[in-house]
Amino acid sequence: MGKHNFKKKYGQNFLTDTNLLSAIVRDAGVTSQDCVVEIGMGQGALTEQLSKVAKKVYGFEIDLDLKAFLEEKFNESNVVLFFEDILKCNIQKLEEQIGGEYKVVANIPYYITTPIIFYFLENSNAKELCLMVQKEVAEKIVAKFKTKNYGILSVICQSFCECKVKRVVSKKLFTPSPKVDSAIISLIIKQKFDFDYAKFIKSSFSMRRKTLANNLAFNYNLSKTKVEKFLNDNGFASNVRAEELEVKSFKKLYEVFRQNL
């Protein structure tokens, strides 16, 4: 490709190291049976490695300056190109076109990391998300309770997915190089998203300095005494904080909350 003006606003940090690119494809366990959705093809470096292994790749790119280059590069290949914002794509229509199971594999633009994860967890039937994210985000996703990184992202991702950090990737391997290191995270989706449960988790953590009872009472418009009694009845202290509850306790507590309060 001729000289490309990297667009910071689109989170353009490209990869070229073929060892790393093929390691990402291995991390995602892509085989010739797999259809893959890729978010943000850039100059198509990861797309190329994916297309060598996968059955079909459905690649998205928002930057129209890359259109002619990508169309030429993947002319007569197993790559289907979409030049649109992934967060505005019609997932249902895309899934009809794919016609079966698929994985999402991508070096995603960091400015929309959480929206992308939620967009796919909430709306899609993807079986796995294998994503390059900022290392700090990967640490939040896999964080255990009672640690500083544990929060909404940890509980929601771990409630619906099996989450693993596959590898840490030095910032030096990107062009241009971002400020922080990255990591490949795999989220194998085990359960369909539950919006009411997600609301319960978001409410539990809504005010970081407040107790769980305070947060739930405020967000569900309940009396604090009632919520404290509910917590006590379920084996928790009245002043317990959300970060002290492990994922399986949240799941159990939500079931009782849903039925009783």
Stretch that binds ligand SAM, among 54-62, 158-166, 190-198, 240-248 (CB under 6 A): 54-62
Contact flag: residue 58 with ligand SAM (CB under 6 A) = no
Stretch that binds ligand SAM, among 6-14, 154-162, 229-237, 252-260 (CB under 6 A): 6-14
Pairing of strands 182-189, 128-134: antiparallel
Contact flag: residue 15 with ligand SAM (CB under 6 A) = yes
Rounded to 5 degrees, what angle do the CA atoms 112, 48, 55 make? 95
Indicate which single residue of 25, 57, 62, 183 sits in contact with ligand SAM (rule: CB under 6 A).
62
Contact flag: residue 50 with ligand SAM (CB under 6 A) = no
Indicate which single residue of 56, 74, 105, 107 sits in contact with ligand SAM (rule: CB under 6 A).
107
**DSSP-derived secondary structure for 185-208:** EEEEE-S---HHHHHHHHHHTSST
Stretch that binds ligand SAM, among 57-65, 96-104, 160-168, 206-214 (CB under 6 A): 57-65
Stretch that binds ligand SAM, among 105-113, 117-125, 135-143, 201-209 (CB under 6 A): 105-113
- Min dist CB 12 to ligand SAM, Å, is 5
Alpha-helix runs per DSSP H in the chain: 18-27, 45-53, 67-73, 91-98, 113-123, 135-142, 152-160, 195-204, 212-219, 224-233, 247-260
The CB-nearest residue to ligand SAM is 40
Q: In this structure, are residues 67 and 83 in contact, taking their beta carbons and an 8 Å threshold?
A: yes
**Burial of 173: CB neighbours in 10 Å, binned 0-12, 13-18, 19+:** middle
- Min dist CB 150 to ligand SAM, Å, is 27
For residue 224, give every residue at least 6 positions away whose Cβ sits within 8 Å of its Cβ, in sequence order, or none.
213, 214, 217
Taking the C-alpha atoms of residue 34 and residue 14, their distance in angstroms, rounded to an integer, is 24
Specify the 3-state DSSP secondary structure of 106.
strand
Taking the C-alpha atoms of residue 93 and residue 99, their distance in angstroms, rounded to an integer, is 10
Stretch that binds ligand SAM, among 27-35, 50-58, 60-68, 232-240 (CB under 6 A): 60-68
Is the Cβ of residue 150 or residue 174 nearer to ligand SAM in the bound state? Answer: 174
Indicate which single residue of 68, 87, 237, 256 sits in contact with ligand SAM (rule: CB under 6 A).
87
227-255 per-residue burial string, b: 16 or more CB within 10 A, e: under 16: bbebbeeeebeeebbbbebebebbbebbe
Contact flag: residue 231 with ligand SAM (CB under 6 A) = no
Contact flag: residue 139 with ligand SAM (CB under 6 A) = no
Contact flag: residue 42 with ligand SAM (CB under 6 A) = yes
Question: Which residues bind to ligand SAM, rule: CB under 6 A?
Answer: 10-15, 39-42, 45-46, 60-63, 85-87, 107, 109, 112
